[in-house]
Chain A
Amino acid sequence: MKLKIKHWLSLVLIGVIFWLGLLSLRPATSLAEETEVLHVINRLSFGPRPGDIEMVKSQGIDAYIQAQLAPDSIPELPQLTQELSKWEALQLTPVELFTKYGPLEKKNGQEPSLEAQKKQQQEMTRIRQEAVNARLWRAIASGRQLQEVMVDFWFNHFNVALFKGPQTQLWMGNYEEQIRKHSLGNFRELLGATAHHPSMLFYLDNWRNTAPDSPGAKGQFQGLNENYARELMELHTLGVDGGYTQEDVIELARILTGWGIAPRGGKGDGKSGFYFDEQRHDFGDKVFLGTTIQASGMAEVEQALDILAAHPHTAHFISYKLAQYFVADEPPASLVDALAQSFQDTNGDIRAVMETLFTSQEFSDPQYYNNKFKTPYQYVISVMRVSDTKQPKLARLNGILIQMGMPTYGCITPDGYKNTQAAWLNPDAMLRRLSFGTAIANGSWDKRQPLDPAQLSKTLGNKFSGETKQVIETSPPNLQAGLLLGTKEMMYR
């Protein structure tokens, strides 16, 4: 896919000018250490672009954090907004997408022609690639970096695998838009958005979940399916040690009977693809996590989601994962507790929890600087950012991620991609990272001028050890940019 990004430079300039405007309104932290600035940039964004360090320095760390916590206050690059507004994967409703590009149905008992089937496959591929490209492009170019980082975090928390079926391929862009919308919002609303989304209900099989003796129990709807009920507690809310029992799983599965999808509309609201089928619902009372839930159909699910979102185990589980993502593979317990407290005090206000995190003592503790090993996604995006790539070749970039074992939306298991060093550091990964970094540095990957090591070094700031500097300085000048992108320091954020 070719993206013509004209006037990129002027857009960046506009962005910088905007920031300069902002900073005049806020007090700058004059003594901010470059390392601390770099730490904040590394954790709130996918890494510095040229000028970012200077920008945050003059703006002040607090002002930068506050701005990132309010993504709507940051104007999006017009080029990005304009281009994405043309992509159907992000613009059409799930029902529109499935009706237009879903698998073809028989007409008058006739199989669709091979040509028509081929066409359908092509269109579905296009939609799928639009979603992937949008994800990567935003991560590279959006000024709302924290929002994109939160999308990475929440998407993996509420993971859906792209290739489960045509449904997930067609709806991925729409699903991610829902996550993005709530990524710094309220947790209960985020949870509700995923619970209503047909992608999730298809991926975790709840669309089949049916009360065995209900009038609708026939054909492909043959009884309870516990899959979503279990993951909803284990992965999305309480955590595996969240104190629920197998009985609770069954009760929640009963509550979720009939909670399904209508890909072609007709039923439901005709847009979202969500559909609650009363005919397949279990209309008995349930006892879920100690609370009796009166049979009432859809409202039972909302009640169960309320219970789960407000549960202290949920606050703790989410807090642990956030602290692990933003601070350390084994996060300090004090921080996790503080976040959980904030989560409960604010009824799951994600923005407030993140503010607690970013202003915590632990977050600013230098022992946690540059200690998070980047996932392949984080590494690749950070390289694109630091090299100031004007026209990212997005499909090829996803190809690199596929080779690195982290295709976009490709995590098959519902627990999503990990973000720890143990999960991603291995010999093959290192060779692939260094090869990619070198190809970017010498310009061969995207046919441009070799990168200037001095510029790179300036963009990346003072994060290199004496040994690293020494090796780079004593290497031939034409290798220095590649070495910079391949340093140990660059592997961490």
Chain B
Amino acid sequence: MKRRKLLQYAGLLTAASLIPIGMNGWAFRSVAQTNNPKRLIVIFLRGGVDGLNVVVPHQEADYYEARPSIALPKPGEKDGVLDLDGQFGLNPALKDIMPLWKQGSLAFVHACGSPDFTRSHFDAQDYMETGTPGVKKTQDGWMNRLLAVLPQGEITQAINLGDTPPRILMGKMPVTQLATGKKGTVPLPLDQPQINEAFDRLYSGNDPVSLAYQEGDQARQILLADLTSEMKEANKGDPLPDNFASDARRLAKLMVGDARTQLGFIGLGGWDSHVNENALLTRLLLPLGEGLAALAQELGPLYSDTVIMVISEFGRTVGENGNNGTDHGHGNVMWVLGGGIRGTQVYGAWPGLAESQLYESRDLAITTDFRDAIAPVLTQHLQISPAQLSQVFPGYTFQTSPNFLG
């Protein structure tokens, strides 16, 4: 019975779907085939990842001087960084993404970030998600505004993997929300055919609440179909692993399976490394690297149409603190992956780490505004117009962008 219904929904989705009209309702609209298969996935490392210990400037004496206890050794030394280009090296916990670097689909933009001076996680995350540093009143997120300007006539959707709707996806466009890890596979009462059928009858009308229900129900059916196949693959129905790689695979599958989903977002917490930083980074970077590799793999051919950006609200102090950690800083490194990326390169002007070169004498300076790094992904990759770009990042005068898209 459920299976029949699934097929029915699958049919429905290819023939027609729901798009939001204004802010108040939804309406059916027939869909031609999507002719823009381009995708964007943003991964937000909450807490301020220490970019200097992720993409390490291993030729800088100042780096080793400022971090006597926590600097990562040079390439070739014990536990040394994996050399990228002779100047920078990758934290060895990210070994799983080295093949992507070598194959040319991974790049970094160093000394990148938000120009606002704040060192508050709260404000800095907010600014990077609303896309309007310094403006506290912006209510919607830049990915939601992006969703609104993606080419009309196509059904585009964004999906968030996480428990809380993030600010970056808040706004007038509806966004699908999926729980991470095992929680994402927990059946809802609504999945029981009898209950589902009863609510289908209760919400069979054309009023806004019924339409919202119908839309949500359809998204759930797609997810259920995916979960069913995922469970089959898992050994003897063992619970799914509760980790980022498994979440990343699920996101990739949804994007491959549902042409409507053009934008994806995952927030990962825990990067606030005030204490024993290197142990913390190893613990968190290993699964992140594994997950990114899994994401690339699972996307398959779609990887060439996908850009994955890894961002974080700010970098950390150049100097280490008294607890083998670092404190809130300024400039950071942005990661960019995807089949269309001109990889194997660290972009961005390197400001140096001598005290006089630092932001407020303590942090990595910013030479690339995060909006300038995101801009080419929106204009060249997702092909929005300059006017639309200004809607996504209002009030910003764009500077030169790193040309990682060629």
Q: Are the CB atoms of B208 and A435 closer together than 8 Å? A: no
Interface assignment of A427: CB less than 8 Å from any CB of chain B: yes
Interface assignment of A93: CB less than 8 Å from any CB of chain B: no
Nearest residue in A to B176 (C-beta to C-beta)?
A428
Residue-wise, chain B 161-202 has the 8 Å CB interface mask toward A (1 for contact) of: 001110100101011110100000000111000110011011
Bound Cα distance from A287 to B210, whole angstroms: 54
Task: For the complex formed, measure the closest distance between the CB of B148 and the CB atoms of chain A, giving whole angstroms.
Answer: 14
Which of B136, B179, B220, B275 has the most chain A CB within a 10 Å cutoff?
Answer: B136
Q: Are the CB atoms of A405 and B165 closer together than 8 Å? A: yes
Given contacts A412-B126, A425-B209, contact A434 B136 (CB under 8 A): no
Bound Cα distance from A19 to B226, whole angstroms: 55
Interface assignment of A413: CB less than 8 Å from any CB of chain B: yes
Q: Are the CB atoms of B122 and A430 closer together than 8 Å? A: no
Nearest residue in B to A373 (C-beta to C-beta)?
B209
Q: Are the CB atoms of A488 and B194 closer together than 8 Å? A: no
Task: For the complex formed, measure the closest distance between the CB of A459 and the CB atoms of chain B, giving whole angstroms.
Answer: 19
Task: List, in ascending order, chain B residues with CB within 8 A of A483's CB.
Answer: 198-199, 202
Task: List, in ascending order, chain B residues with CB within 8 A of A427's CB.
Answer: 26, 174, 176, 212-213, 215-217, 219
Interface assignment of A407: CB less than 8 Å from any CB of chain B: yes
Q: Are the CB atoms of B136 and A430 closer together than 8 Å? A: no
Nearest residue in B to A204 (C-beta to C-beta)?
B136
Bound Cα distance from A402 to B207, whole angstroms: 27
Bound Cα distance from A405 to B209, whole angstroms: 18
Q: Are the CB atoms of B202 and A403 closer together than 8 Å? A: no
Interface assignment of B1: CB less than 8 Å from any CB of chain A: no
Task: List, in ascending order, chain B residues with CB within 8 A of A412's CB.
Answer: 122, 126, 167
Given contacts A428-B175, A428-B216, contact A438 B189 (CB under 8 A): yes
Which of B174, B190, B323 has the most chain A CB within a 10 Å cutoff?
Answer: B190
Which of A405, A407, A468 has the most chain B CB within a 10 Å cutoff?
Answer: A405
Given contacts A430-B209, A430-B216, contact A405 B174 (CB under 8 A): no
Interface assignment of A165: CB less than 8 Å from any CB of chain B: yes
Task: For the complex formed, measure the closest distance between the CB of B165 and the CB atoms of chain A, giving whole angstroms.
Answer: 4
Bound Cα distance from A373 to B275, whole angstroms: 46
Nearest residue in A to B201 (C-beta to C-beta)?
A471
Q: Are the CB atoms of A482 and B208 closer together than 8 Å? A: no
Task: For the complex formed, measure the closest distance between the CB of A313 and the CB atoms of chain B, giving whole angstroms.
Answer: 19
Residue-wise, chain A 404-417 has the 8 Å CB interface mask toward B (1 for contact) of: 01010000111100
Task: For the complex formed, measure the closest distance between the CB of B328 and the CB atoms of chain A, giving whole angstroms.
Answer: 12
Task: List, in ascending order, chain A residues with CB within 8 A of B208's CB.
Answer: 421, 425
Task: List, in ascending order, chain A residues with CB within 8 A of B275's CB.
Answer: 114
Interface assignment of B120: CB less than 8 Å from any CB of chain A: yes
Q: Are the CB atoms of B136 and A413 closer together than 8 Å? A: yes
What's the A-B contact tally at a CB cutoff of 8 Å?
115
Bound Cα distance from A439 to B205, whole angstroms: 24
Task: List, in ascending order, chain A residues with CB within 8 A of B165's CB.
Answer: 405, 428
Q: Are the CB atoms of A488 and B203 closer together than 8 Å? A: yes
Q: Are the CB atoms of B194 and A431 closer together than 8 Å? A: no
Nearest residue in B to A235 (C-beta to C-beta)?
B137
Bound Cα distance from A271 to B103, whole angstroms: 63
Bound Cα distance from A7 to B172, whole angstroms: 46
Q: Are the CB atoms of A422 and B322 closer together than 8 Å? A: no
- Of the candidates B194, B212, B323, the one whose C-beta lies within 8 Å of that of A479 is B194
Bound Cα distance from A100 to B24, whole angstroms: 48
- Of the candidates B120, B126, B198, B213, the one whose C-beta lies within 8 Å of that of A475 is B198
Q: Are the CB atoms of B190 and A431 closer together than 8 Å? A: yes
Nearest residue in B to A168 (C-beta to C-beta)?
B122
Bound Cα distance from A479 to B195, whole angstroms: 7
Residue-wise, chain A 214-254 has the 8 Å CB interface mask toward B (1 for contact) of: 00000000000001000000000000000000000000000
Q: Are the CB atoms of A422 and B202 closer together than 8 Å? A: no
Bound Cα distance from A414 to B208, whole angstroms: 29
- Of the candidates B120, B137, B167, B190, the one whose C-beta lies within 8 Å of that of A165 is B120
Task: For the complex formed, measure the closest distance between the CB of A277 and the CB atoms of chain B, giving whole angstroms.
Answer: 21
Interface size class of B (residues with CB under 8 A): 35 or more
Residue-wise, chain A 463-477 has the 8 Å CB interface mask toward B (1 for contact) of: 000011001100110
Nearest residue in A to B23 (C-beta to C-beta)?
A422
Bound Cα distance from A474 to B216, whole angstroms: 24
Bound Cα distance from A488 to B120, whole angstroms: 41
Q: Are the CB atoms of B122 and A487 closer together than 8 Å? A: no
Bound Cα distance from A434 to B200, whole angstroms: 12
Q: Are the CB atoms of A482 and B207 closer together than 8 Å? A: no
Task: List, in ascending order, chain A residues with CB within 8 A of B212's CB.
Answer: 425-427, 429-430
- Of the candidates A164, A413, A421, A438, the one whose C-beta lies within 8 Å of that of B190 is A438
- Of the candidates A111, A373, A438, the one whose C-beta lies within 8 Å of that of B322 is A111
Residue-wise, chain A 10-49 has the 8 Å CB interface mask toward B (1 for contact) of: 0000000000000000000000000000000000000000
Interface assignment of A50: CB less than 8 Å from any CB of chain B: no
Bound Cα distance from A256 to B26, whole angstroms: 46
Q: Are the CB atoms of B136 and A431 closer together than 8 Å? A: no
Q: Are the CB atoms of A434 and B163 closer together than 8 Å? A: no
Bound Cα distance from A421 to B172, whole angstroms: 12
Q: Are the CB atoms of A415 and B194 closer together than 8 Å? A: no
Nearest residue in A to B24 (C-beta to C-beta)?
A422
Given contacts A428-B176, A483-B199, contact A413 B122 (CB under 8 A): no
Q: Are the CB atoms of B202 and A468 closer together than 8 Å? A: yes
Task: List, in ascending order, chain B residues with CB within 8 A of A405's CB.
Answer: 164-165, 170
Nearest residue in B to A487 (C-beta to C-beta)?
B202
Interface assignment of B357: CB less than 8 Å from any CB of chain A: no
Q: Are the CB atoms of A111 and B323 closer together than 8 Å? A: yes
Interface assignment of A327: CB less than 8 Å from any CB of chain B: no
CB neighbors of B among A260-276 (8 A): none
Q: Are the CB atoms of A486 and B136 closer together than 8 Å? A: no
Bound Cα distance from A491 to B207, whole angstroms: 13
Interface assignment of A283: CB less than 8 Å from any CB of chain B: no
Task: List, in ascending order, chain A residues with CB within 8 A of B136's CB.
Answer: 227, 413-414
Q: Are the CB atoms of A163 and B122 closer together than 8 Å? A: yes
Task: List, in ascending order, chain A residues with CB within 8 A of B198's CB.
Answer: 471, 475-476, 479, 483
Interface assignment of B139: CB less than 8 Å from any CB of chain A: yes
Task: List, in ascending order, chain A residues with CB within 8 A of B164's CB.
Answer: 402-403, 405, 407
Bound Cα distance from A421 to B208, whole angstroms: 10
Task: For the complex formed, measure the closest distance between the CB of A484 and the CB atoms of chain B, giving whole angstroms.
Answer: 10
Nearest residue in A to B129 (C-beta to C-beta)?
A412
Residue-wise, chain B 236-252 has the 8 Å CB interface mask toward A (1 for contact) of: 00000000000000000
Task: For the complex formed, measure the closest distance between the CB of B203 and the CB atoms of chain A, giving whole angstroms.
Answer: 7
CB neighbors of A among B308-335 (8 A): 321-323
Bound Cα distance from A413 to B135, whole angstroms: 10
Which of B167, B209, B217 has the most chain A CB within a 10 Å cutoff?
Answer: B209
Interface assignment of A147: CB less than 8 Å from any CB of chain B: no
Nearest residue in A to B139 (C-beta to C-beta)?
A413
Interface assignment of A350: CB less than 8 Å from any CB of chain B: no
Task: List, in ascending order, chain B residues with CB within 8 A of A476's CB.
Answer: 194, 198
Bound Cα distance from A33 to B306, whole angstroms: 60
Q: Are the CB atoms of B122 and A165 closer together than 8 Å? A: yes
Nearest residue in A to B276 (C-beta to C-beta)?
A114
Q: Are the CB atoms of B207 and A434 closer together than 8 Å? A: no
10 interchain pairs, CB-CB under 8 A: A111-B322, A407-B164, A413-B136, A422-B172, A427-B174, A427-B219, A428-B216, A431-B216, A435-B190, A488-B210
In the complex, given contacts A405-B164, A431-B220, what are 18 additional A-B residue pairs having Cβ atoms less than 8 angstroms apart? Answer: A111-B321, A164-B122, A407-B164, A413-B136, A422-B24, A425-B209, A426-B175, A426-B216, A427-B216, A429-B216, A430-B209, A434-B189, A435-B190, A439-B189, A475-B198, A475-B201, A483-B198, A486-B199
A positions within 8 Å CB-CB of B: 111, 114, 161, 163-165, 227, 373, 402-403, 405, 407, 412-415, 421-422, 425-431, 434-435, 438-439, 442, 444, 467-468, 471-472, 475-476, 479, 482-483, 486-488, 491
Sorted from nearest, which 7 A-B pairs have the closest CB atoms?
A427-B216, A427-B215, A438-B189, A405-B165, A431-B216, A422-B23, A430-B213
